[in-house]
Amino acid sequence: MPNIRSVDAVRPAFAPGSPVQGKPSGAALTGDGACPEIDPESPLQFVINGAAGSGDADTRRELIEAALRAAGRVGELRFSRPAELALVAQQAASKAIATRTAVVAVGGDGTLNTVAQAAHVTGCAMGVVPQGTFNYFARTHGIPSDPAEAVRRLLEWTPLPVRVAAVNDRVFLVNASLGLYPELLENREAYKARFGRSRWVAFWAGSTTLLRAQRQLRLHIEQGAAARDVRTLTLFVGNNRLQLQQLGLKPQTQVEGAPGQASAAGCITAVMLRPLGTWSMFRLMLHGAMGTLGEAQSVEHFEFEHMVVRPTLAPGRRGVKVAFDGEVTRMRAPLDFRVLAKPLYLLKPRPHDAATGAMIDTAARPEGTAG
């Protein structure tokens, strides 16, 4: 029987917010070297968002231990409270790179983002056991939504490079935004706390936020030598082809058979929503529900590799509220959005396996972006 050690969260001696590595990328997906190797004898480092001893934690523990036991593998389970998650992820990633193993994120988009930040900085391999509402990142890369199946399969996979993006010093896998979208996320969490976690609750919270939208952003946007000033309700930067396609914002250029890449040029997609009235917002919501958002006249979207955004801030305010992968924080302006040259090394099926695997959601079959 494998020696499975369950490790509760401790305070590691690492500083949070470690800077992301890599300048904006070129067309080719590059990195600092070959994909990290995995030693099957080395314990996998599981980072689990949740206090040890809770009902959910016990269920997750049993699920992971059963999969490890069946495969004859070993692992360390690190349960963490949300406030300590970044520190625990950094500790786990450092041990993973030192012992030639992978750090595995168990949770929703926020947990995946926090662990990806640590894995990207250290250069270790990363696995994913998705437990969120939409699971765009996992579905895009052929990772099963069922946690037990995800654990079983990641034990069989080898690391593959996945393109990621960043805003200032934070990696993001699915999207990053400012303006209306961070407000929508905060309202969604409040609705979930009151009514439970479901896609219908998320939809209702989003609809309510959109219909109340009034606050406008004034942004100075720089792309290379070009610059312009815009007024918008939100700036949304998408790094996940599945999410963009479901909204009707299909990237203009695509790479056949290249999961993990946003486009042939390695671009990500910016979406801006022009100020509009209540009835126009109703029409916009209808476009979104029908997956035709790209056809709405009030929506502008374009691809880019590197963009600097300078928002006009109220006197005395130096930061702006930014959302990335479902988490909301304040960042200092300007905001530097870019595709990174250094990839994330993800445990995932190879492209031909993902294309034929029955466990993949039908909606996730198109190749995904870096995220």
- Give the pLDDT score at 34: 78
Is 371 domain-assigned?
no
346 and 321 in a common domain = no
Alpha carbon 3 to its chain's center: 32
277 is written with which tokens?
A: 């009235």
Predicted confidence (pLDDT) at residue 364 exceeds the cutoff of 90? no
- Give the pLDDT score at 353: 64
When pLDDT is averaged across residues 288-316 and rounded to a whole number, the result is: 77
Q: Contact, 247 vs 285, CB < 8 A?
A: no
91 and 213 in a common domain = no
Is 15 domain-assigned?
yes
Tens-digit pLDDT profile for residues 227-257: 999 999 889 999 998 888 887 776 655 433 3
205 and 156 in a common domain = no
352 and 292 in a common domain = no
Is 307 domain-assigned?
yes
304 and 202 in a common domain = yes
Is 225 domain-assigned?
yes
Comparing 287 with 108, which gets the higher pLDDT?
108
Q: Output the average pLDDT for the chain.
A: 77
Q: Which one-letter DSSP state was computed for residue 363?
A: G
- Give the pLDDT score at 360: 37
Which H helix or E strand runs over 134? none
Q: Contact, 63 vs 146, CB < 8 A?
A: no
Tens-digit pLDDT profile for residues 137-155: 999 999 999 999 999 999 9
Predicted confidence (pLDDT) at residue 369 exceeds the cutoff of 50? no
Is 327 domain-assigned?
yes
Which residues are CB-contacts of 274 (< 8 A; sequence separation ≥ 6)? Answer: 231, 232, 233, 298, 299, 300
187 and 52 in a common domain = no
Give the rounded percent of residues in the chain with a pLDDT score beyond 70: 64
Using omega within 30 degrees of 0 as the cis cutoff, is the peptide bond preceding 259 cis?
Answer: no
33 and 162 in a common domain = yes
Half-sphere exposure of 183 (CA within 13 A, CB side): 17
153 and 12 in a common domain = yes
Is 261 domain-assigned?
yes
Tens-digit pLDDT profile for residues 58-82: 888 999 999 999 999 999 999 999 8
177 and 162 in a common domain = no
266 and 332 in a common domain = yes
136 and 74 in a common domain = yes
Range of the domain at 319: 170-339
Could you give phi then psi for residue 29, rounded to 5 degrees?
A: -80, 115
Give the rounded percent of residues in the chain with a pLDDT score beyond 90: 48
Q: Where are the beta strands (DSSP E) in 64-124?
A: 75-80, 102-107
Predicted confidence (pLDDT) at residue 213 exceeds the cutoff of 90? no
CATH number at residue 85: 3.40.50.10330
Predicted confidence (pLDDT) at residue 335 exceeds the cutoff of 70? yes
Is 243 domain-assigned?
yes
Tens-digit pLDDT profile for residues 82-139: 899 999 999 999 999 999 999 999 998 889 999 999 999 999 999 999 988 789 999 9
CA distance linking residue 247 with residue 232, whole number of Å: 18
43 and 22 in a common domain = yes
- Give the pLDDT score at 150: 96
CA distance linking residue 213 with residue 229, whole number of Å: 21
CATH number at residue 187: 2.60.200.40
Is 369 domain-assigned?
no
345 is written with which tokens?
A: 């090394």
Q: Contact, 123 vs 344, CB < 8 A?
A: no
Please give the tally of structural domains in the chain.
Answer: 2
